[in-house]
Structure 1
Amino acid sequence: MTYAIVYSSKTGNTRLLAETIRDTLPAADCLYFGAPDDAALRADRIYVGFWTDKGTCDADTAAFLARVTTQEVFLFGTAGFGGAPEYFDKILSAARRNLPEGAAVCGSYMCQGKMPMAVRARYEQMEDSPRRQMMLDNFDAALSHPDEAALSRLQDAVQNQ
């Protein structure tokens, strides 16, 4: 079975996931690796990675997903806020809505990813409150993500689909 890995990565987090998938699968079967491009549509299965933008995939990924036809799709992504599987499921569900009706999703994976320092600076400017502190704590916790445990879980998800 041929495959392609398509990803959009603003901070490098999703690129790291894409590289992990590439290192997990047989290299000879890979038809495409890179940014969203119609060349990936020649593969039997497409691993589609994204960064989270307003609770769903980024616009480039959304446009690519709309062009999928008969390929199997494995969605993967990163989000600055993490920890709650329900939150990740909500993001994945929103991303799936970009696929044409009848598209086959064969698997998915989400994990937390670090955010740019400009985000922390914006949080620091907020009025002191429990919400501000929670956002700062989450930012600091995300700095080491995706970590080795997250990458290992991704490998398991890819191998067990």
Structure 2
Amino acid sequence: MRYAVLYSSGTGNTEQVARAVYAALPAGQARLEAVGPDTAVPQEEVLFLGFWTDKGVCPPDMQKLMAQLAGKQVALFGTAGFGGSEAYFEAILQRTRALLPAGNTVLGGWMCQGKMPAAVRTRYEAMAAQNPGDSKAASFLANFDRALPHPDQADLASAAAFAGEMAAKAQG
């Protein structure tokens, strides 16, 4: 069985996870590639598609690749700046899953929180300054701080375990 780990990473979080997924797959049977605007449809039977979260779903470059897939076994993985809720992650995975054309098989999905750029914290601080006592701005700042160490070693180990489970599932 041949595997491709294809990922779109806005800040490096998803790339870290993609490397952990790749390392967990059988040596010599997988390849790792960043998705770009002209990424060709992979020939491998099993695809691990990694993405950062853009407005609650995978970003446009991954959407473009996914729209071209047919007859593949797909495992989805991703990172999101907001976290702390499996229900939130599952909603992102469901929206992303829905973008795959019929005829592809989704093996499963996995997500973790990822750190956000400093500019995001600056924006949240400005929100808090404009509206002192605003609980929404305070919760955004708290989430930003919780996300800073992610993906951490536990996240990467979990991603590797997910890769192993999905590879076993693809084998049948």
What TM-score range do you get, normalising by the shorter chain?
Answer: over 0.9
Between stretches 75-84 and 25-34, larger displacement belongs to 25-34
> Cα deviation per residue 1:52-98 (whole Å; 9 max; x = unaligned)?
01110101011111111111001000000001000000000010111
The answer to whether 1:158 aligns with 2:144 is: no
Structure 2 residue runs of 5 or longer lacking an equivalent are 167-172
- Cα offset, 1:108, TM superposition: 1.1
Q: Distance in 2 between matches of 1:109 and 1:137?
A: 23
Q: CA RMSD for the aligned pairs? A: 1.2
Letter in 2 for 1:104: T
Q: Distance in 2 between matches of 1:49 and 1:156?
A: 15
Q: Distance in 1 between matches of 2:118 and 2:27?
A: 35
Letter in 1 for 2:152: D
Does structure 2 conserve the Cα–Cα contact (< 8 Å) formed by 1:50 and 1:57? yes
Does structure 2 conserve the Cα–Cα contact (< 8 Å) formed by 1:63 and 1:98? no
What is the TM-score when the length of structure 2 is the normalising length? 0.89
How much identity, in percent, do the aligned residues show? 43
What is the TM-score when the length of structure 1 is the normalising length? 0.95
Does structure 1 conserve the Cα–Cα contact (< 8 Å) formed by 2:74 and 2:105? yes
Structure 1 residue runs of 5 or longer lacking an equivalent are none
SS in 2 for 1:46: strand
The match for 1:38 among 15, 37, 40 is 40
The match for 1:134 among 120, 133, 139 is 139
Partner of 1:8: 8
After superposition, residues 1-161 of structure 1 pair within 5 angstroms as 1-36=1-36, 37-39=39-41, 41-126=42-127, 127-128=131-132, 129-161=134-166
Q: Distance in 2 between matches of 1:15 and 1:70?
A: 25
- Cα offset, 1:31, TM superposition: 4.3
Q: Distance in 2 between matches of 1:113 and 1:48?
A: 17
Does structure 2 conserve the Cα–Cα contact (< 8 Å) formed by 1:52 and 1:77? yes
| Structure label with greater radius of gyration | 2
- Cα offset, 1:18, TM superposition: 0.6
Instruction: Sort the Cα spacing of 1:31 and 1:149 in 2 relative to 1 into closer, same or farther, 3 A.
Output: closer
SS in 2 for 1:114: coil
How many equivalent pairs are there?
A: 160
